[in-house]
Amino acid sequence: MGVQECKIIELPKMEDDRGSLSFVESDSHIPFDLRRIYYLYNISEGASRGAHGHKELQQLVIAMSGHFTIEVDDGGDKKIFHLDKPNLGLYVCPMIWRHLYDFSPDAVCVVLASLHYDENDYYRNYEDFMKDVKKQ
């Protein structure tokens, strides 16, 4: 797996004069069973988030409000995505280092995750991440 697996997923969008509605269904819109949802908001100006990787976790990252940028890195290649629509999510596969930045003041980042929180699944140090990437 690598950054080529990280891609924008367009979610269903239903619109009428009352507004818009989008939804996500496991194994229909995302390639994993949903185990956890978390969200980032009230992010300080100039702050960044992420700066870690996961061994097994899969994610769908959505800009529910506002916008932000996410860089994905597989240890060899990098890609940059700008998220700014609540019906678009970035699928992030395992063994990807991610860095989120350039948050607008109104940004709300929602993350759908394939696993419950497990600190042992994290790479907090880029050098440790790169050591395991090179083993694969």
Of 29, 52, 67, 99, which one is the catalytic site residue?
52
Q: What is the 3-state secondary structure (H, E, C) of the chain?
A: CCHHHCEEEECCEEEECCEEEECCCECCCECCCCCEEEEECCCCCCCCEEEEEECCCCEEEEEEECCEEEEEECCCCEEEEEECCCCEEEEECCCCEEEEECCCCCCEEEEEECCCCCHHHEECCHHHHHHHHHHC
52 classed as catalytic: yes
Alpha-helical runs (H) found in the chain: 126-135
List active site positions. 52
